[in-house]
Amino acid sequence: MFEGFETAQIDVGEASAFVRYGGDGPPVVLLHGHPRTSATWHRVAPLLVRAGHTVICPDLRGYGRSRGPAFTADHAGYSKRAVAADVVAVARHLGHDRFALVGHDRGGAVALRLTLDRPETVTRVVFADALPVTEHLSRITAEFATQWWHWFFFAQPDIPERVINADPDSWYHGDPEVMGAENYEEWRRATRDPDVVRAMLEDYRAGLTVDRRHEEADRAAGTRITCPTLALWSLKDDLEDLYGDPREIWRRWADDVRGHGIDAGHHVAELAPEELASAVSGFLQDRPGDQAT
């Protein structure tokens, strides 16, 4: 995986971030979702390098080989604000004060927080299979509760750790043929680590508490995303089925929104890497035809 890329373990203060990076050109940071690591981008990152970009793929705080602070009752150490600060520190360590962002799933929540908190650092942002957590919570239906029940299970104290760590291979259903053997093995090592499992649960616990409050404060203050924004969603996932056109929801938060669906399941970087890389590189380079809404 990641031929020609380098790796580093970067001290970012209260946390330590593992990162892969390679290429030359305008930088783009790729933020993975749950329960993946940065290895999920192994098919997309080389395509973006070929398209002329420096590509930076960190493990989110507590995921994979990144490590965070001690766990606390308020979950603040794993808030999206804290993780976004890690991303800025990693990019600066690698020599980049401004960069584009791509966030998938939980990485999309980090991308949102970073773009709102530090707009001067983000040139363009891509949200893939992601919406603000408050938009999900304001639309809770029986269908949402049935399909997304894990959000509320993960928020419970202690019980999720005991259930997941008893048999992580059964809980997390990975397929080496679909994921790629090296990506699968890296993911499997991570999900068998109780500290990683706890950190991933803290991500969700923060989402329903401190992250929700941060988003509510942004809405009350009228804070918006001012850089160009691309919304992508997997047509074989449930985002559009639950909410309709995701672009309309993102327009509540951002001034310039475009986007489209991709014919794939949820883990789009593994399932449709060419389509995802083409959409991202076209948006970052503002090629004709990539402005359609």
Residues designated catalytic = 105, 266
Closest CA to 275 of 290, 288, 291, 286: 290
Sheet containing 6-11: order of strands: 6-11, 16-23, 54-58, 27-31, 99-104, 122-128, 229-234, 257-262
- φ, ψ for residue 49 (rounded to 5)? -60, -45
Report how far residue 8's alpha carbon sits from residue 221's, in angstroms, rounded to the nearest whole number.
Answer: 38
Helices (H), the chain: 45-50, 80-93, 106-117, 133-137, 142-147, 150-154, 159-166, 168-171, 176-179, 181-191, 194-207, 210-221, 239-243, 246-250, 268-271, 273-285
User: For residue 35, is the peptide bond before it cis, meaning its omega torsion is within 30 degrees of 0?
Assistant: yes
- Burial call 30-40: b when 16+ CB within 10 Å, e when fewer: bbbbbbbbbbb
Give me 45's structure tokens.
């990152």
Closest CA to 27 of 113, 87, 116: 87
Judge contact between 160 and 154, C-beta under 8 A: yes
Give me 136's structure tokens.
């999900």
Distance of CA 167 to the CA centre of its chain: 25
- What end-to-end distance do the CA atoms of the chain give, in Å? 34
* Contacting residues for 215 by C-beta, under 8 A, at least 6 apart: 112, 132, 133, 134
